């Protein structure tokens, strides 16, 4: 099983005014279609704000079916490390906790990503998201590289 850690803001829609929430979800659906074994773990602040079930329900059905979890764990909400953790640190914690071997992240926040793991990150510009030039090709390439 391969895990795709998915942020929403700046990925499935641009950050900023006038956005249509999740307008680029069809781009992700199309990219994942050849990879039925890829499951999604939400790595978005939306899970903390709206809850896991409501956040998952906002996604189109094809993506909802792939969602198996979230990096956000309410049990850690008040622990000091969680309050200051970068998105990468939250993902790394999930990878270690669940012994994830095959994974990729799509996130507009590359703060704290080590250089040796940049190949596991697709980082679209936050004001364009997955619609940015080259992002779909990069995602397709990185998904192919994970395929068995």
**What is the per-residue pLDDT for 77?**
67
**What is the per-residue pLDDT for 20?**
82
Regarding predicted confidence, which is higher, 75 or 102? 102
Q: Which helix (H) or strand (E) holds 62?
A: helix 61-64
Alpha carbon 113 to its chain centroid, in Å, reads: 14
Rounded-to-integer distance, Cα 22 and Cα 14, Å: 9
Could you give the percent of the chain with pLDDT greater than 70? 93
Q: Mean pLDDT over residues 95-114, rounded?
A: 95
Q: Which of 84, 24, 22 is nearest to 59 (CA)?
A: 22
**What is the per-residue pLDDT for 85?**
86
Look over the chain and give the mean of its residue pLDDT values, rounded to a whole number. Answer: 92
CATH number at residue 18: 3.40.50.1000
- Residue 140: burial class (beta carbons within 10 Å; 0-12, 13-18, 19+): middle
Domain that holds residue 34: 2-146
pTM: 0.93
- Tally of structural domains, the chain: 1
Regarding predicted confidence, which is higher, 6 or 45? 6
Q: Mean pLDDT over residues 54-58, rounded?
A: 96
On the question of pLDDT at 18 being above 60, the answer is no
pLDDT tier, 21 (very low <50, low <70, confident <90, very high otherwise): confident
pLDDT digits (tens, 9 = 90+) for 31-54: 999 999 999 999 998 998 899 999
On the question of pLDDT at 58 being above 70, the answer is yes
The alpha carbon dihedral of 42, 121, 86, 101 has a sign of: positive
């Amino acid at each position: 099983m391969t895990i795709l850690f998915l942020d929403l803001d700046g990925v499935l829609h641009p950050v900023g005014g006038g956005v249509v929430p999740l307008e680029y979800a069809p781009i992700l659906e199309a990219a994942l279609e050849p990879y039925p074994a890829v499951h999604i773990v939400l790595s978005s602040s939306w899970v903390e704000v709206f809850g896991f079930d409501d956040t998952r329900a906002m996604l189109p059905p094809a993506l909802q079916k792939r969602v198996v979890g979230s990096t956000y764990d309410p049990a850690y909400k008040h622990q000091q490390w969680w309050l200051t953790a970068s998105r990468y640190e939250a993902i790394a914690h999930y990878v270690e906790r669940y012994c994830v071997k095959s994974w990729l992240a799509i996130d507009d926040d590359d703060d704290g990503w080590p250089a040796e793991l940049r190949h596991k990150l697709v980082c679209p510009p936050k004001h364009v998201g997955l619609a940015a030039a080259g992002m779909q090709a990069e995602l397709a390439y990185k998904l192919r590289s994970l395929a068995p």
